[in-house]
Structures are given as structure tokens and as C-alpha cells.
Structure 1
């Protein structure tokens, strides 16, 4: 655990890419193979299941810290991170544990069969065995809050340098439904095992955005200057759904989301078309709610996301289909090295021969002969329930991750309103002592009505200025939340808007974020609830 705790803290302390890779390579070179696989699992979202609820952990942490509950809670509000708060408040321990990461995770998993008393005894004993750094990382694992400030690409790069295996191959091998208990490091690095898991998806190819830093999208002239002749490109709508790979191998079907969640059972409407595909087929596309041949807004699909059981009502209210735009495997052969045009031709053949075209839909190619014409078509995006347009070079191969050059997304400008900040709360991690999470309101008559929260879009310098304002203009305190003097105005951007009975304003926004600080606008000139609701009619 000491080596893993040091890795975690070393990565957290640097923003330099080369230094992060160096730290990762050192970890891979010095720990047992089992720890390597558990580290890879944690860094790719495969965290151990939480075995003790947060309330019990807090109670026992207060007991171990030997301080009043109110002081613990006040400390938590200041620190902003439960795992760090617990590690700071407990008595110092000079010794450290000799147990490996693998051994600690095995003990955490074994808690499933323990009584509450046994769990408490184990946890208090464990805390006493760890130094403060180890305890912090241990608490992260225990509470299910483990996050790390390093991309999967950097982890793969370090692993590629250590093993001599190409990064794209490793990226593919660490996808799928493996867990460190059943997938060894030897299996990972042996090429012949790369295709053993028939459920394994391919790494997703991600488009790069065509946009200005202000989020205002580029014009046709800008796009032409960047991408050249329009004849070299194909254009499709950018759908607002769930990106997914749909797999038929070995007589079995699998649906993977981009977040590497196996979601086969969540979309039973797609099973028939997948079962009818030729064996050895992998498709890439978007899952959306569909009715009467038309896509529905994302909030309709959202009603079934995260549900363990899909009731008849949910299936009726939010029926789904998939719009497929790429074919990655055909007749058992990896065809990602074929051109975009070649893969499209194979995809059209598959879809044209399907008896399930209502749910197996083909992404329509947009007919255009100039960037000016395509820019005009792009203005229809919201009417199409789309976010904009995807541009794909006809000669492009299917690549790994986000790459500049061959796939671009040309989104429409976000919807936006000017709003007044009325509440603020401290952030987490390195921003735990700064007010970075804000609630915004618009005018309803002479009252300000909250309608959205946002915590992204400001520079570090702007965050510091807002924090300074909050600390000197607090009107009330409600736990970690402060009511502030309604004075600062910000332009809030969002992708969509829907009616909501759960919110006081009667609306809910999709992806709200701060576009800019409106220093030029007094609070009286902020937008109204009526102007927000007008977007519902568009």
C-alpha cells in the first residue's frame, strides 16, 4: 500500500506530463504483478465495491479521532474531502503497513460477509496500522471516492514503455469486463490472449471540437481554412444520446457504453437486431429514445438510465433505437484500418439486409458541396434534436481516443442567459478552500429564482476573485453553503432545456456551465424566468 499511496500523491503533486509518466513507469517497474493489475483496475474505473456505508465510517472516524462530532463536521466543511478529513484528524502513526495493495483490496472485498461489529473492529485496527498518507488513499478506496488526476492515455503510455507493447493494443486489452482477480498481468502482455474475451469492445475514436475558446463556433470560412476541400469530408448529424458499441460474437451479444459500462440488459429493444447480425460484427453508434421514427430529447432517455429494473411504463414512455455510424469488425475481422468510406459501405450492406431497420438505423449522410451550405444546414440541428454536425475525412481510419485531424464535431452555439449568482459552496480536492460551486438565478418579477448550478468555465484568476467576493459578501450560512449578495452576473450556457416539476423554477438545464463573467452588466439586467421558458417553445 505504501508504494500505491506514494504513486497517488506523486501524481497529485505534478501537472507535468513527462513527470507523471516517469512516476507511473517507476511504479510498474517496482511492484508485484498483482498490484499492477489492481492499479490498472482502479485507474480505469474498476473500484472495489463499498462494503461499509458512509454514515458508519464517519461515526467510527469521529471515535478514532477522539473529537466532538461538531468539530469533525466543521473540519470536513473546511477540508472538503471526507477521506482527507479522516486521515488528518486521526492520531499520527509513525509505522506503516507491509500489506500490498492487492492484500488490502482483498480484505475490503471480504467485508461483505462480516457483521457490523467485525467491520468496525477491522476498520479501527486498519487505521492504526497506516501512516497518514496511506490512510488517506485507503479511505479513498474504502469510501468509493477514489479519483486520480491522470488520463488513461498516460497510464497506457507508461505501460507501453515498460512492456514494449504498442499503446493502441494495450488500450484495447484493458477494455472489457475484466477484473484484477481474473485477469493477470501475464495475460495482459501476451498477445495471443488479446481476443480471448469475446465481449471486449474496441477503444472509441473521439472527435475533436471545432470551436473558439469562448465556445462560439467557427464559421464556414474558418472551417475551410482548417479542413480544406469539402469534397474530402462526409458530414452526419451529431446525435445527443448514449455512445455505444454493439457486439455480436460467439453467438452472444454485448452493448458497451463509452464509459465502459456493460449495458446489454438496459436496452432489450436492441437485442433482436443484434442477434440477427452476422457473427463477428462490432458496430459503433448512438442509442437514443425514438418514437414515430423521430429522435426524442435526451431527458426522455435519461428516465431509464441508472434504473436497475425497466418497468413496462418506462419501456413504453422511452422506447429506444440506435443510429449506427461505423463498423469496426466484420466477419470476425478487425476493419478499423480500412477507410471511412470502405467501412461505411460495409455498414450500409449490414443495415440494408436487416429486418429490424426501425431500431437499427443508419446515420444519414448530409448532402453538401460547400462549407457555406453545410453551415446553413447546421442551423437545423436543434430541430433535428442534434447537437450539431460530425465531420469525418473519407480516407480516415478508425483510431484510438481523441485525435486531431480526421474526426471533428462542429456543434451549434450553446443556448445562454445572463444570471445572478446567489449561492456559493466550496469545491473539492485542490479547490477545497475556494468557493467554486455556484447557484444562479433569474428574475421572476422582483424576485430572483434559482434555476441552475455550475462550477466550470472560469479561469483560476477569476475563481480567486469570486472567492474573495463571496467571503466578504456573505448574507447567510447554511452548513457549507453561503447565500451571497446578489450582485455578480454571469452568462450561463447550456445544451438543452426541459420542464421539471422537481425544481422551483419549473425547468431543468442540460450541461449548464459558465461562459463568461458579465462585468459589464448590472444585476437588474439579468434575464427573466419568462425568457428562459421561451426556449421551451423553440
Structure 2
């Protein structure tokens, strides 16, 4: 655990890419292979199942630190992170454990079979055997809140440098339903070909946002400068669903989300056409709720996410379909090296022969002759219940991760509304001492009605100024939440809106975020609930 905690600290203390890669490579070079696999599991989101709930964790921490509940809660509100709070409050001990990360992970998994009193005793002994930094990382793992400030791409780069394999191969071998107890490091990096896992998906190819280029690319002239001849590109609608790979191998079917969640059982409507595919078929696409030939809002699809059992009502109210837009494996061959046009041809052939065309759909190609014409078509996105347009170079290969050049997403501008900040809450981690999470409201007559929360969009300087305002203008306190003087106005952007009976405002927003601080606008000129609800006529997206 000591080496893993040192790695975590080294990664947390630097923003320099080369230093992070060096720390990762040093770790790979000095720990046992089993520890390497557990580290990779944690860094790729494969944390063990939580064995101690939050109530038990807090109670046993208070007992071990010998402090009253009120002081613990005050400390927690100041620190903003439960794992760090407990690590700081517990007394230090001279004894330090020499257990490896693998040994600690085995003990955490074994907690599942222990009664509560034995879990408490084990946790108390474990805290006493770790220094403060080890306790912090240990607590993060135990509470299911482990996050590390390094991208998976950097981990893969370091591992590729150490193993001598290329990054694409490592990325592919780390995909799928593996766990460190059953996947050996030797299989991952030292064999010519990893042991075949028929369920393993390919790394997803991600589009680069047009709006994140050096200038906001909107005009046909700017698109011409960025992308060149329009004839070299194909355009499709950008759908708002669940990005997924659908796999048929060895007579078995698998559905993987982009977040590497195995979701086969969540979408039974897709099974019949997948069973019809020949073995060795992998298709990339978007799963959407579809009814009467039209896509439904993403919120309908969300009703399936997190459910253990799909009821008849859920299936009837939100039936799904696949909009396929790429073929990655055909007749057992990895065809990612083929051009976009060649892969599209194979995909069209596969979809053309399906007896389930209403469920196995194919992404429609948008016909256009110029960037000016496509710019006009893009304005129809909301009417199509789409987020914008995807641009794909016709001779592009299917690559790994987000690569600038061959796939672009040209999203429509967000909807926006001017709102008043009414509540504030402190952030987490490095921003635990700053008020960074805000609730916004619009006018309903002479009252302000909250409708959305947002925490992104402001600069560090602006956050510091808002934090100072909150501290000077707090009206009430409700635990960590502060009611503030309704004075500051912000422009809030969002991707879609729909009716909601769960919210006092009667609406729910999709991806709300702060676009800008409206210093020029007094609170009385903020928008109204009628203005917000008028967006419902735009159609939720």
C-alpha cells in the first residue's frame, strides 16, 4: 500500500505530463505484477464492491478518533471529503503495515462474508496500521470514491513504454470485463497475443469538438479552413443516447457502453437482430429510446439505467433501437484499418439483410454539396431531436480515443437563460474551502423558483469573487448549503429541457452549466418561469 500511496501523491502533486508518466513507470518497475493489475483496475474504474456503508464508516471513524458527532460533521464540512476527513482526524501510530496493495484488496473483498462487529474491528486495526497518506488512499478505495488526477491515456503510455507494446494494443487489452484476480499482468503485456476474451470490445473512437478549435468554427469559410473540401467528408446527425458496441462472437452476444459497462441485459429488444448476425461481428452505434419511428428524449432512456429489473411498463414506455454508424469487426476480422467508406459499405450490407429494420437502424447520411448548405441543415438539429452533426472523413480509419483530424462533432449552440443564484455549497478536493456549487432560480411573479444546479463555467478568479460574496451575504445555513442574498445573475446554458413532476419549477434541464456572469444585469431583469417553459416548444433533446 505504501508504494501505491506514494504513486497517488506523486500524481496529485504535479500537473506536468512527463512527471506523471515517470511516476507511473517507476511504480510499474518496482511493485509485484499482482499490484500492477490492482493498480490498473483502480485507475480504470474497476473498484471493488463497497463492503462498509457510509453510516458505518462515519460512526466507526468517530469512535476511533474519540471525537463527538458535531465536531466530526463540522470537520467534514470544512474538508469537504469524507475519506480525507477521517484520514486527518485519526491518530497516528508508530506501527506501519508492510502489506501490499494486493493483500489489502483481498482483505477488502473478504469483508463481504464478515459480520458487522468483525468489519468494525478490522477497519479499526487497518487504520492503526497505516500512515496518514496511506489512510487517505485506503479510505478512498473503501468508500468507493477513489479518483486520481491522471488520464487513462497517460497510464497506457507509461505501460506501453515499460512493456514495449504499442499503446493501441494495451488499450484494447484493457477493455472489457476483466478483474485483477483473474487477469494476469503477464497476459497483458508479455505475450504475443493476449488470451482471447470473446466479449472484449474495441477502444472507442471519439470525435473532436469543432467548437474547441482555436476559433469557434461556425461559418462555412471557417469550416473550409479547418476541414478542407466538403466532398471529402460524410455527415450524420449526432444523436443523444448511449454510445455502445454490440458484439456477436462464438454464438454469444454482448452490449458494452462507452463507459465499459456490460449492458446486455438492459436492452432485450436488441437481442433478436444480434442473434441473426454472423459470428465475428462488432458494430458501433447509439442506443436511443424510439417510438413510432422517432427518437425520444434521453430522460426516457435513463429510466433503464441503474435498474436491476426491467418492468413491462418501462419496456413499453421507452422501447429502444440501435442507430448503427460503424462496423469494427466483420466475419471475425478486425476491419478498423479499412476506410470509413469501406466500413460503411459493410455496415449497410449487414443492416440491409436484417429482419428487424425498425430496431436495427443505420445512421442516415446527410446529403450536402457545400459547407454553407450543411450549416443550414445543422439548424434543423433540434427538430430532429439531435445534438448537432457528426463529420467523418471518408478515408479515415477507426482510431483509438479522441483524435483531432478525422472525426468531428459540430454541436448546436446551447439554449440559455439568465438566472439568479440563490444557494451555494462548497466544492470537494482542492476546492473544499470554496463555494463552487450553485443553485439558480428564475422569477415566478415576485418569487424566485429554483430550477437548476451548476458548478462549471467560471474562471478561478470568478470563483474566488463568488466565494467572497457568499461568505458576506449568507442569509441561512442548512448543513453545508448556504442561502445567499439573491443578487448575482448568471447566464445558464443547457442542452435540452423537459417537463418534470419531481422539480418545483416543473422542468428538468440536461447538462446545465454557467456560460457567463452577467455583471450587466440586475436581478430584477433575470428571466421568468414562463420564459424557461417556453423552451419546451423547442422539443427536449
TM-score bracket, shorter-length normalisation = over 0.9
Structure 1 counterpart of 2:515: 515
Give the Cα separation in 1 of the matches to 2:193 and 2:200.
Answer: 12
1:273 aligns with 2:296: no
Structure 1 counterpart of 2:222: 222
Structure 2 counterpart of 1:88: 88
**Aligned partners of 2:95 and 2:128 also within 8 Å:** no
Give the Cα separation in 1 of the matches to 2:508 and 2:216.
Answer: 23
Q: How far 1:194 moved relative to its partner? A: 2.9
Give the Cα separation in 1 of the matches to 2:320 and 2:477.
Answer: 45
**Aligned partners of 1:212 and 1:218 also within 8 Å:** no
SS in 2 for 1:392: strand
**Aligned partners of 1:436 and 1:463 also within 8 Å:** yes
Give the Cα separation in 2 of the matches to 1:452 and 1:482.
Answer: 16
For each residue in 1:289-335, what CA deviation from the matched residue of structure 2 results, as whole angstroms up to 9, or x when unmatched? 00111111111111111111000000000000000000000000000
Q: How far 1:212 moved relative to its partner? A: 5.4
TM-score, normalised to structure 2, is: 0.98
| Alpha carbons of structure 1 residues 223 and 195: separation in structure 2 relative to 1, 3 Å | farther
Structure 2 counterpart of 1:390: 390
Q: How far 1:216 moved relative to its partner? A: 6.5
Structure 2 counterpart of 1:35: 35
| Alpha carbons of structure 1 residues 215 and 227: separation in structure 2 relative to 1, 3 Å | closer
Give the Cα separation in 2 of the matches to 1:7 and 1:481.
Answer: 34
For each residue in 1:209-253, what CA deviation from the matched residue of structure 2 results, as whole angstroms up to 9, or x when unmatched? 011589966222211111011000000000000000000000000
SS in 1 for 2:366: coil
Give the Cα separation in 1 of the matches to 2:215 and 2:455.
Answer: 16
For each residue in 1:75-114, what CA deviation from the matched residue of structure 2 results, as whole angstroms up to 9, or x when unmatched? 0000000000000001022432100000001000001010
Structure 2 counterpart of 1:241: 241
Give the Cα separation in 2 of the matches to 1:103 and 1:447.
Answer: 58
SS in 2 for 1:186: helix
| Alpha carbons of structure 1 residues 214 and 516: separation in structure 2 relative to 1, 3 Å | farther
Equivalent residue runs for 1:123-138 within 5 Å: 123-138=123-138
Equivalent residue runs for 1:47-446 within 5 Å: 47-194=47-194, 196-211=196-211, 218-446=218-446
SS in 2 for 1:325: strand
The total of aligned residue pairs comes to 538
**Aligned partners of 1:216 and 1:413 also within 8 Å:** no
Give the Cα separation in 1 of the matches to 2:342 and 2:284.
Answer: 15
**Aligned partners of 2:217 and 2:223 also within 8 Å:** no
Structure 1 counterpart of 2:14: 14
For each residue in 1:367-413, what CA deviation from the matched residue of structure 2 results, as whole angstroms up to 9, or x when unmatched? 00000100100011011110000000001000000000000000000
Give the Cα separation in 2 of the matches to 1:222 and 1:210.
Answer: 10
Give the Cα separation in 1 of the matches to 2:214 and 2:332.
Answer: 44
**Aligned partners of 2:163 and 2:190 also within 8 Å:** no
Give the Cα separation in 1 of the matches to 2:173 and 2:191.
Answer: 9
Q: How far 1:462 moved relative to its partner? A: 1.0
SS in 2 for 1:328: strand
Structure 2 counterpart of 1:479: 479
Give the Cα separation in 1 of the matches to 2:195 and 2:293.
Answer: 37
| Alpha carbons of structure 1 residues 490 and 2: separation in structure 2 relative to 1, 3 Å | same
Give the Cα separation in 1 of the matches to 2:48 and 2:215.
Answer: 38
**Aligned partners of 1:2 and 1:96 also within 8 Å:** no
For each residue in 1:446-488, what CA deviation from the matched residue of structure 2 results, as whole angstroms up to 9, or x when unmatched? 1110000000111111111111111111111111000111111
SS in 2 for 1:475: strand
Give the Cα separation in 1 of the matches to 2:120 and 2:425.
Answer: 32
| Alpha carbons of structure 1 residues 239 and 195: separation in structure 2 relative to 1, 3 Å | farther
Give the Cα separation in 2 of the matches to 1:474 and 1:54.
Answer: 29
SS in 1 for 2:287: strand
| Alpha carbons of structure 1 residues 57 and 214: separation in structure 2 relative to 1, 3 Å | farther
> Which sits farther off after the overlay, 257-266 or 515-524?
515-524
**Aligned partners of 2:451 and 2:507 also within 8 Å:** yes
Equivalent residue runs for 1:486-497 within 5 Å: 486-497=486-497
TM-score, normalised to structure 1, is: 0.99
**Aligned partners of 1:214 and 1:515 also within 8 Å:** no
**Aligned partners of 2:187 and 2:195 also within 8 Å:** no
**Aligned partners of 1:215 and 1:515 also within 8 Å:** no
Give the Cα separation in 2 of the matches to 1:531 and 1:191.
Answer: 62
Q: In angstroms, what is the RMSD of aligned CA positions? A: 1.2
**Aligned partners of 1:217 and 1:412 also within 8 Å:** no
**Aligned partners of 2:388 and 2:410 also within 8 Å:** yes
SS in 2 for 1:93: coil
**Aligned partners of 1:244 and 1:255 also within 8 Å:** yes
Unaligned runs of 5+ in 1: none
| Alpha carbons of structure 1 residues 174 and 149: separation in structure 2 relative to 1, 3 Å | same
Give the Cα separation in 2 of the matches to 1:117 and 1:413.
Answer: 55
SS in 2 for 1:425: strand
For each residue in 1:123-153, what CA deviation from the matched residue of structure 2 results, as whole angstroms up to 9, or x when unmatched? 1111111110100101011111101111000
| Alpha carbons of structure 1 residues 522 and 213: separation in structure 2 relative to 1, 3 Å | farther
Give the Cα separation in 2 of the matches to 1:312 and 1:340.
Answer: 39
